[in-house]
Amino acid sequence: MPTAIVSHVECRQHSMHDHHPEDPRRTDAISDQLISSGLDLYLMYEDAPVVEREQLLRVHDEAYLDSLDEMAPDEGQELVEVDDDTAMNPYTLQAARRAAGAAVHGVDLVVNGRMDAVFCNVRPPGHHAERDKAMGFSFYNNVAVGAAHGIQAHGLQRVAIIDFDVHHGNGTEDIFRDDPRVLFCSLFQHPFFPHTDPQSDRDHILKLPLESGTGGAELRLAVDCAWLPAIERFQPQLIMVSAGFDAHREDEMGHLRFVERDYQWLTEQLTGIVDRVEGCHGIVSVLEGGYSPSALGRSAVAHIRALARV
């Protein structure tokens, strides 16, 4: 099954304060593990294009995009703070344009039938970015830009977004809370950042709050009961993944206890849905969190191996 990695070297140039956990070693760790595992031999590699402003405007307000453009530093090592833990250097917005462009390109590759699955190895992450607000290391909501591209450019009517990052994808919920063409399934540690309501008031927004310490066995039970039947009933034409790996038990950012085979299992459930749902084009997965480089690399390889079915 042809599977592609979409990435760009400019995603490495965005960096925040020294010792900030969201740093270029993250995407490097995934690339290194893909090579050392031998999995890279089965994959295609494509450069991420720069996202077009019209593609961002499908999910973000114009005034918000203008404010990011105005705030961005021009040169040097200057950092502009967006919130307590999110900052822009002179290369941040270009990295973010590549990250969102990767999601758009991934959707084109899968919906046009060139690839069965795509993993976007990009940063900055996106799922905390709301329609008019940057937060939680996120500027443009990459997965939302990709889903909106599937709907508006390709005419899709049903896109499922699965978010297994340890943090709730508040930005993705904010963007699609009034758009039932998107089924948004998010699991997350609760209570935890970003402290959104663990209950959903929308049928197309499924939330799976998990207590600190939750491991793979509970994950499988909950996903089996709460998500898989709902996703299959939805009959998605495209599945997108907000692939954060910070719920890994070695990741000190969160307090869940997933391991590599849990990511593999979850991904296999999604490829099973692709097989069973007639007209489902495939899966586009976009990197979100994951801050222990070794665990991130191993987990991403388990996920991509399941996407590529090797």
Q: Which residues are catalytic?
A: 128
**In the complex, minimum distance from the CB of residue 289 to Zn ion, in angstroms, rounded to a whole number:** 3
Alpha-carbon span 215 to 4, nearest angstrom = 30
Kindly identify the residues of this chain, within the stretch 212-271, that bind Zn ion according to CB under 5 A. 244, 246
Helices 293-308 and 260-276, interaxial angle, to 10°? 30
Q: How many residues bind Zn ion (CB under 5 A)?
A: 6
User: Cis before residue 236, ω within 30 degrees of 0?
Assistant: no
Q: Give strand ranges (E) for the chain.
A: 3-7, 43-47, 80-83, 86-88, 117-120, 159-163, 182-189, 205-210, 238-243, 283-287
Kindly identify the residues of this chain, within the stretch 2-61, that bind Zn ion according to CB under 5 A. none
| 188 vs 234 by CB, closer to Zn ion | 188
| 116 vs 246 by CB, closer to Zn ion | 246
Q: Are strands 205-210 and 182-189 parallel, antiparallel or unpaired?
A: parallel
Q: How far, in Å, are 183, 225, 239 from residue 77 at the CA level? A: 41, 49, 39
Token duo for residue 91: 């290369």
| 126 vs 216 by CB, closer to Zn ion | 126
| 56 vs 166 by CB, closer to Zn ion | 166
| 126 vs 289 by CB, closer to Zn ion | 289
**In the complex, minimum distance from the CB of residue 188 to Zn ion, in angstroms, rounded to a whole number:** 8
Torsion angle defined by CA atoms of residues 252, 14, 244 and 53, in that order, rounded to the nearest 10 degrees = 150
Instruction: Show the site string, 167-196: x = touches Zn ion by CB under 5 A, - = not.
Output: x-----------------------------
Which residue's beta carbon is nearest to the bound Zn ion? 289
**Beta carbons of 7 and 275 less than 8 angstroms apart:** no
| 125 vs 236 by CB, closer to Zn ion | 125
Kindly identify the residues of this chain, within the stretch 271-300, that bind Zn ion according to CB under 5 A. 289
**In the complex, minimum distance from the CB of residue 66 to Zn ion, in angstroms, rounded to a whole number:** 27
Alpha-carbon span 220 to 87, nearest angstrom = 36
Helices 92-111 and 142-154, interaxial angle, to 10°? 40
**In the complex, minimum distance from the CB of residue 194 to Zn ion, in angstroms, rounded to a whole number:** 9
Tell which phi-psi region holds residue 60, choosing left (phi > 0), alpha (psi between -120 and 50) or beta.
Answer: beta
Alpha-carbon span 132 to 116, nearest angstrom = 32
**In the complex, minimum distance from the CB of residue 177 to Zn ion, in angstroms, rounded to a whole number:** 20
Nearest CA to 11 among 114, 116, 111, 126? 126
Kindly identify the residues of this chain, within the stretch 129-168, that bind Zn ion according to CB under 5 A. 165-167
**In the complex, minimum distance from the CB of residue 198 to Zn ion, in angstroms, rounded to a whole number:** 16
Contacts with Zn ion by CB under 5 A lie at 165-167, 244, 246, 289
